[in-house]
Structure 1
Amino acid sequence: MAIVLLRVDERLIHGQVVVGWGGPLHADRIVVVDDAIAASPWEQELYCLGVPPEMEASFATVDDARAQVAEWRAGSRRVIALVRDIPTALRLAEGGILAGEEVNLGGIHHAAGRDRVLPWLHLNDGDRETLRRLAATGAVVSARDLPATRAVPLDELLGSGG
């Protein structure tokens, strides 16, 4: 499998992803899946400032990324795919496209109406319902801040009610 990380992280490309995940996972490509950034060359330039020269960065709309998932899986490149939020992850996963893939919940920060679940993960009721829908597509949802830490499975994140 060439998708080494599929992560939900509001900050997208930043040090924790590039160094903390990219290094240990030997990633050589980062794909940001975000409709707005895919249409914004100046934002793409800003995000590329945080990418080391040995890694390629690219930007895709959700629809384009859905069409590329099979290529990422089969390819020789070690891909980190990043989305900004849980609804985008669900859009990417619709129809079972991410069945069997681990979706990592990374930095989802405090905002009005969100409760702290983990130090880096804050969710509201809508987020929880969207995560249930994401898991129902066959994606394996968990939270982990770095590769060396324990993955917290979705049922544990949501409590006994799942």
Structure 2
Amino acid sequence: MMRVDDRLIHGQVALLWTKQLGLNRIIVANDKAAASDIQKNALLLAAPAGVKVAVVPVDKAIKMANDPRGAHFKMLLLVNNVGDLYKIVKGVEPGNTKVDIANVGRVSGDIENKHKLTETVYLNDDELAQVQEINGLAKNFVYQPLPTDSPKPFESLLKGE
């Protein structure tokens, strides 16, 4: 699964998604976090026991996702912004991988200049264009904030449904 969540690794990811997906790997793809020992260590500490975590730049995450040795892992590739997801989807064949945008746009502020798609998804014009392109590339593109929520096709949010 690929997921956009402003908060990266937090309680929902560490507890709910890890259990629901049976994860044994989490890749945090974020250039800033990968360059900061403090942020990297905080993310590693937030991860659940028994799950290997890599905090890497986006380009390295693309290489990791394309590495055939990773095919037998249950992996979550986690980003905190639409631009990074866009770059990853363009660089990795998503196939039937679930691509989930769930929480984005509120933490970065300036929400009055963004399009509100849901209570947890706010996108600026550039992000909206990127999401529309992702919609054409990813076969399983959804909005699913929690594993207990039913996944909603992201296309329906783009159509205002």
Under a length normalisation based on structure 1, what TM-score does the superposition of the two structures give? 0.85
**Do residues 102 (structure 1) and 73 (structure 2) align?**
no
Could you say which residue in structure 2 is the equivalent of 1:11? 7
Q: SS in structure 1 opposite 2:130?
A: helix
Q: How far is 1:144 from its partner?
A: 0.5
Gaps of 5+ in 2: none
Could you say which residue in structure 1 is the equivalent of 2:75? 79
Q: How far is 1:72 from its partner?
A: 6.6
Q: How far is 1:95 from its partner?
A: 4.8
Name the count of aligned residue pairs: 157
Structure with more helix by fraction? 2
Name the Cα RMSD after superposition.
2.2
- Identity, % of aligned positions: 24
**Do residues 64 (structure 1) and 70 (structure 2) align?**
no
**Higher mean C-alpha displacement, 91-100 vs 33-42:** 91-100
Q: How far is 1:51 from its partner?
A: 1.1
Q: Which of the numbers 25, 42, 58 marks the counterpart of 1:29? A: 25
Confirm or deny: 8 A CA contact 2:4 2:85 kept in the other structure. yes
Gaps of 5+ in 1: none
Confirm or deny: 8 A CA contact 2:15 2:48 kept in the other structure. no
**Higher mean C-alpha displacement, 146-155 vs 116-125:** 116-125
What is the CA–CA distance in structure 2 between the aligned matches of 1:36 and 1:132, rounded to whole Å?
A: 26
> Residues 104-162 of structure 1: CA distance to partner in whole angstroms, max 9, x if unpaired?
012114332123322222223322111012223345321101122121212211116x9
